[in-house]
């Protein structure tokens, strides 16, 4: 699936979204598969949870941005370019985190599993995976877990 064409979504914001996906999705799926029991099995590659992530993200961010009369578009249009960029980055990150937590982390089979995912994901997003040890003792500090040049 390709990123939808939305005139209000500048290339810099598209790059941010792609960077978030490249940085956090692979390690979150590895964590899910290595550490958690799933309520309903997902594909080994995680394609179905990623599709759910993309659908949630699309409904919460892309569609509202496409509406020029929408609240978000009005808020960003009412401030300067630099302040609007900060607001937009914050909004993109927030929607992405919500979408990832409910699509990948939400597939855990219990509240305990979701709490374990929450702790892991907070460490990953804060770039503190060096100090994080998973329940199995696995460390998530390999190059494929934390790609170079991530956000």
Q: pLDDT tens string for the chain (151 positions)?
A: 555 454 445 677 888 888 899 889 999 999 998 898 887 777 666 678 888 999 999 888 876 666 656 656 666 666 666 776 777 788 889 999 999 999 999 888 899 999 999 999 999 998 888 889 899 998 888 766 666 655 5
Instruction: Say what the pLDDT of residue 46 is.
Output: 66
Instruction: Say what the pLDDT of residue 138 is.
Output: 87
Measured between alpha carbons, how far is 122 from 127 in angstroms, rounded to an integer?
Answer: 9
What is the pTM for the complete model shown?
A: 0.77
97 Cβ contact list (under 8 Å, min separation 6): 121, 125
Instruction: Say what the pLDDT of residue 62 is.
Output: 72
Rg (CA), the chain: 16
**Both structure tokens of 26:** 């692979």
């Amino acid at each position: 699936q390709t990123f939808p064409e939305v005139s209000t979504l500048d290339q810099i914001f598209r790059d941010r979204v792609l960077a978030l996906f490249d940085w956090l999705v692979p390690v979150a799926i590895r964590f899910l598969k290595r550490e958690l029991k799933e309520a309903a099995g997902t594909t080994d590659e995680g394609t179905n949870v990623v599709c759910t992530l993309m659908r949630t993200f699309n409904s919460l961010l892309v569609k509202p941005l496409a509406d020029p009369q929408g609240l978000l578009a009005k808020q960003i249009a009412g401030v300067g370019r630099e302040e609007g960029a900060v607001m937009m980055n914050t909004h993109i990150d927030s929607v992405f985190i919500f979408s990832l937590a409910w699509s990948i982390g939400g597939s855990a089979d219990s509240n305990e599993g979701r709490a374990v995912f929450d702790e892991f994901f907070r460490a990953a997003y804060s770039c503190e995976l060096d100090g994080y040890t998973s329940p199995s003792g696995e460390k998530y500090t390999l190059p494929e877990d934390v790609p170079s040049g991530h956000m």
